[in-house]
């Protein structure tokens, strides 16, 4: 009959629509799952890349610290000399400041006496080198650890200036 045929057609259409909806849902679920898996894989790859970059940076810093410690242990005098050379203007200025308050100076022995006074003032800066070597030799364990455990060589004996130059300061005289 006609009513049965219409009913069967509606049932077939509903079943086809249900099957179409089911297939669309399954496709959407598969796409969502694949997208999630791809995003998770991308995040994992980014995490691995960041971890590897951090590891490489840490290894490079460690190598730089080791190289610096080795260079300091081997070339300690060169490092100290370089630092003293950088500070030499301040050292000379501090040595010359001893003459800053001198109003009048009487020197004996002419130009030789003058050269002797300035040579002794500059020699005071040289004793700073000996002091720097002694300080480096007595570094704390923490300082040694910071340098990668390098122990500086024993300091050489530094000569101390034991001569005294007498300068008379007279206020108000010209």
Q: Where are the domains of the chain?
A: 1-73, 75-174
- Sign of the C-alpha dihedral, residues 87, 92, 95, 100? negative
pLDDT of 170 over the 90 cut: no
Q: pLDDT confidence of 139, banded at 50, 70, 90?
A: low
- pLDDT top residue among 79 and 33: 33
Give pLDDT tens digits for 18-69. Answer: 999 999 999 999 999 999 999 999 999 999 999 999 999 999 999 999 988 8
What is the pTM for the complete model shown? Answer: 0.34
User: Which pLDDT score, from 0 to 100, does residue 44 have?
Assistant: 96
Span between the terminal Cα atoms of the chain, in Å: 142
């Amino acid at each position: 009959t006609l009513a049965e045929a219409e009913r069967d057609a509606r049932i077939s259409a509903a079943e086809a629509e249900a099957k179409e909806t089911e297939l669309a849902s399954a496709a959407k679920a598969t796409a969502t799952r694949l997208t999630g898996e791809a995003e998770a894989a991308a995040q994992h790859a980014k995490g691995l890349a960041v971890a590897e970059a951090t590891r490489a940076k840490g290894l490079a810093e460690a190598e730089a610290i080791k190289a610096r410690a080795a260079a300091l242990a081997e070339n300690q005098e060169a490092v100290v000399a370089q630092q003293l050379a950088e500070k030499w203007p301040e050292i000379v200025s501090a040595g010359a400041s001893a003459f800053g308050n001198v109003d009048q100076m009487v020197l004996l022995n002419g130009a030789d006496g003058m050269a002797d006074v300035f040579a002794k003032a500059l020699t005071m800066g040289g004793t700073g080198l000996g002091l720097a070597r002694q300080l480096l030799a007595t570094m704390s364990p923490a300082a040694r650890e910071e340098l990668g455990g390098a122990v500086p060589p024993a300091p050489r004996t530094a000569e101390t200036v034991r001569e005294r130059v007498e300068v008379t300061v007279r206020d108000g005289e010209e």
